[in-house]
Amino acid sequence: MSEEKKYKAIYIDDDKILLTVMTAYAQHTKYVDLIGCYLNPIEGIQAIDELKPEILFLDVQMKEADAFATIAALEHNPIIIIVSSHWESEGDLIAAGASCFLSKPLKGPDQIDAAVEKALAFNASNNRSTKKTIKLDSNQEVLPELYREKATEEHFEQTESWADFIVKFDNKFPSFFENLKGDFDNLTPTQLRICAYAKIGIKLKNMSINMDQSLEAVESNIADIKIKLHIEPEDDLRDFLSIYN
């Protein structure tokens, strides 16, 4: 790399010792400015959306939410480096949005810098970029109703924080994001979130409130989701998603 830059980073891992090791090593890296470490992935998700780091170091298997659920829950879209010894899931995690693996146990600052270089190169070669807010053309007609509202399951609230929602959702549908992303790897994190809301019948207006997006932006995303899922505009999204649990 021709120019050294410190990238703001957060590390989520339910192993306290590894967080301590990463904190010590990060002080001697060329590229990492470690601004936070979190044992609980839910707290980590909230911190990422607030602090907007450029890099996320992420464990795979955690009690509250695994790496797949954590990636799907993110609003902000950092470069993701998986820190794990579970290489059997590497391909699935790359498809879900990760850029590279950093093997456990951590061996030193040079290993971390090498992972950052690899992740940056991977993102550049695959034209990955941070998520952009959808802006509708001023001449675009308002889209028709694309989502038929259904009753929401009792234990989900119509409006609640995404962090609270994802814990309940992942407990009830533990393979939803992994299986859906495995079949349709071009869905964005925002679209995966909409699919989760649609799965349990969250109303369109409450999707808009929860995601801080206009109704038109949510409808536009749903239209794009249906294209990516190869279903007709008039088909019910929730019916299609019923096969994913």
Confidence of residue 3 (pLDDT cuts 50, 70, 90): low
Three-state SS string over 6-51 comes to CEEEEEECCCHHHHHHHHHHHCCCCCEEEEEEECCHHHHHHHHHHH
Query: Tell me, what's the pLDDT at 127?
Result: 60
Predicted TM-score (pTM) of the model is 0.55
Higher pLDDT, 152 or 40: 40
Judged against a pLDDT cut of 70, whether residue 210 lies above it is answered with: yes
Are 147 and 237 in contact by the 8 Å Cβ rule? The answer is yes
Q: List the domains of the chain with CATH numbers.
A: 7-125 (3.40.50.2300), 162-241 (1.10.10)
Query: Tell me, what's the pLDDT at 152?
Result: 41
pLDDT tens digits, one per residue of 73-107: 888 889 999 999 877 778 888 888 899 999 988 99
Confidence of residue 224 (pLDDT cuts 50, 70, 90): very high
